[in-house]
């Protein structure tokens, strides 16, 4: 089980910014140990350009992100999920589908950078903050000894990660690879 790849789903209402960032970050920092996906309860149908900009600025491969419904991950042909994380308060409060495989879940709420109304600098700062907060949590998650933790201890760790803030980690201008 040590070489197992874990399936992870990040949920947000619109699946246009935060969940897209989280998907790209875990696919990068997970180094093949995780396969991340993202979806939304009410997908917008498009990825926010601010999310793509910050990923490019921080040199994190975006892959081919697209906004999609969480129903894609609840059907018989969906990947069997190991973890499900909500990254917005709205999605955390909604009744989620039944996920195949009884994945562990946690709420890792992050302020919505797409909701910031202001000039380009304010918008850019909001996306940078969301990026760093998600990156901090994801790097902690990717470093967990998942195979050696029982479900109760692992759930506790996931909940603690959700409380972690980006200011606990140093901000970098460019993400190391």
Domain that holds residue 152: 6-165
108 catalytic per annotation: no
Active-site residue, 35 included: no
Task: Give the model's pLDDT for residue 1.
Answer: 42
Domain total in the chain: 1
Q: Residue 171: inside a domain, yes or no?
A: no
Residue 83 neighbours by CB distance under 10 Å: 22
Residue 113 lies in a domain: yes
What pTM was estimated for this model as a whole? 0.89
Under DSSP, the state recorded for 134 is H
Q: Which CATH number do you get for residue 90?
A: 3.40.50.2300
Check: CB of residue 47 under 8 Å from CB of residue 21. no
The pLDDT of 137-143, averaged and rounded, is: 97
What is the separation of C-alpha 166 from the centre of its chain, rounded to a whole number of angstroms?
14
Confidence of residue 14 (pLDDT cuts 50, 70, 90): very high
Whether the pLDDT of residue 100 is over 60: the answer is yes
Question: Cα–Cα distance between 79 and 82 in angstroms, integer?
Answer: 9
What is the distance between the alpha carbons of residues 153 and 159, in angstroms, rounded to a whole number? 10
Question: Looking at 8, 12, 22, 39, which residue is catalytic?
Answer: 12
Band of pLDDT at residue 92, cut at 50, 70 and 90: low
Catalytic residue chosen out of the listed positions 96, 125, 144, 164: 96
* CA pair distance 108, 19, nearest whole angstrom: 10
Q: Which of 11, 21, 24, 88 is catalytic?
A: 88
96 is catalytic: yes
Nearest Cα to Cα of residue 19 among 30, 9, 34: 9
Cross-strand pairs, 41: none
């Amino acid at each position: 089980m040590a070489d197992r790849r874990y399936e992870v789903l990040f949920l947000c209402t619109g699946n246009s910014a935060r969940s897209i960032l989280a998907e790209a970050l875990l696919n990068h920092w997970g180094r093949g140990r995780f396969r991340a996906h993202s979806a939304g309860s009410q997908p917008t149908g498009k990825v926010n350009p601010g999310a793509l900009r910050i990923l490019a600025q921080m040199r994190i491969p975006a892959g081919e992100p697209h906004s999609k419904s969480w129903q894609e991950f609840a059907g018989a042909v969906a990947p069997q999920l190991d973890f499900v994380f909500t990254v917005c308060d709205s999605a955390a409060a909604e009744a989620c589908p039944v996920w195949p495989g009884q994945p562990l879940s946690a709420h890792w709420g992050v302020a919505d950078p797409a909701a910031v109304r202001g000039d380009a600098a304010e918008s850019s700062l909001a996306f940078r903050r969301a990026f760093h907060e998600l990156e901090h949590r994801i790097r902690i998650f990717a470093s967990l000894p998942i195979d050696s933790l029982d479900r109760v201890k692992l759930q506790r760790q996931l909940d603690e990660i959700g409380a972690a803030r980006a200011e606990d980690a140093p901000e970098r201008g460019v993400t190391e690879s």
